[in-house]
Amino acid sequence: MVEFIARICVEAGIPPLILTRGYASGDEAKMLERHLSGTSARIGVGANRTAVAASIFERHGYMKFENTLYSEKLSNPYEFGSASENGKVGVAILDDGMQVTQLRLHPLLSSRQHWSMLCDVEIVMLNGLMPWGNNHLIPRGSLREPLGALSRADIIVIHHADLVSDGQLKVIKSKMHTVDACHVVFFTRLAPSHFFEVNNQHSTLPLSVVLNRVVLCVSAIGFPNAFVRAVGKIGPLLVDRLDFGDHHSIQLNDIEMIKERLGKLKDRFNTEVVAVVTEKDYDRDALILREIHNFDVLVLCSSFQIMPSYGQGEDTFRRKLKELIISKFGG
């Protein structure tokens, strides 16, 4: 979602700054840097994101809200331009990484002595497969805020909507309305597009490469069920899985475990076996994953898509986002 929003800004000629805490080995930051390489987007990594942002503002400057060109770029959702104002940052995007993920778009604000960032547009992203966790807050559960916090949202996104039944989606929307959550709801999915070989990130292999093969999904991400189900929908002969903890860095003993599992699957089914990992796993552990010898190791690439549901497609999302930013800027 962060990358999707960043690309909207890039296309509008407004250089974005993505601020991330860089959990563990910074897999998400590495993936964003790889995907957004060659664009006007910048990635700021650090636990103190305000300090990171301040440092980048000092080096590169920032576009002021009252700038006429800034407002013109945002006001037309279909006319895009190139980055302007000598690469100054135009908008900051923060991913709070919460169970109910909040993606906050922050224009760049400064006081006389200190930088500050006030939330201007708040986008809450729900995992459609497990929207409320176990319905309890930390430490009893996984929610960082109570359900009522949804009332602050400007936009709500229900992710993995393609893996959820229409009935379940209606239940989720109904529950949101009980807390007076906003009525602007979008449904999204990660659509598999192709694979690349772990030994060559510039390779491109069609999804059909796993047909009639046994696949072992190996991942260290927060919600591997969606990954496994997405691979299964491609149509391999069978899908097995090996899940590690979120952001876990693969070690040599893990490699041996993976190779052992692959070997057992090959012996059991007497057919070709392939390991499939996510892009996050690749960007975290690219070198050590090459130690899985004698088996193909593929990286699944997917594109973030807004599903055209209830008249709320990608064009509607772009218009709504820009309307919100302009209204908060007072444009």
Tell me the pLDDT tens digit for each residue of 154-177: 888 999 999 999 999 999 988 888
CATH 3.40.50-classified regions of the chain: 191-303
pLDDT at position 329 is: 60
Q: Is the pLDDT of residue 239 over 80?
A: yes
Tell me the pLDDT tens digit for each residue of 10-49: 988 889 999 988 765 678 899 999 999 999 999 999 888 8
Three-state SS string over the chain comes to CHHHHHHHHHHCCCCEEEEECCCCCCHHHHHHHHHCCCCCCEEEECCCHHHHHHHHHHHHCECCCCCHHHHHHHHCCCCCCCCCHHHCECEEEEECCCCCEEEEEECCEECCCCEECCCCEEEEEEECCCCCCCCCECCCCCECCCHHHHHHCCEEEEECHHHCCHHHHHHHHHHHHCCCCCCCEEEEEEEEEEEEECCEEEEEECHHHHECCEEEEEECCCCHHHHHHHHHHHCECEEEEEECCCCCCCCHHHHHHHHHHHHHHHHHHCCCEEEEEEHHHHHHHHHHHCCCCCCEEEEEEEEEEEECECCECHHHHHHHHHHHHHHHHCC
> Please, which residues have CB within 8 angstroms of residue 20's CB and are 6 or more apart in sequence?
2, 26, 28, 29, 32, 43, 44, 45, 49, 94, 95
Torsion of CA 256, 261, 266, 271, to 10 degrees: -110
Instruction: Give the integer Cα–Cα distance in Å for 302 and 275.
Output: 17
Residue 173, judged by CB atoms within 10 A of its CB (0-12, 13-18, 19+), counts as middle
Fold of 191-303: Rossmann fold (3.40.50)
Q: What is this structure's pTM?
A: 0.86
Q: Is the pLDDT of residue 99 over 60?
A: no
Over residues 195-211, the mean pLDDT reads 97
Tell me the pLDDT tens digit for each residue of 272-306: 999 999 999 999 999 999 999 999 999 999 999 99
Q: Is the pLDDT of residue 108 over 90?
A: no
Torsion of CA 157, 308, 81, 62, to 10 degrees: 0
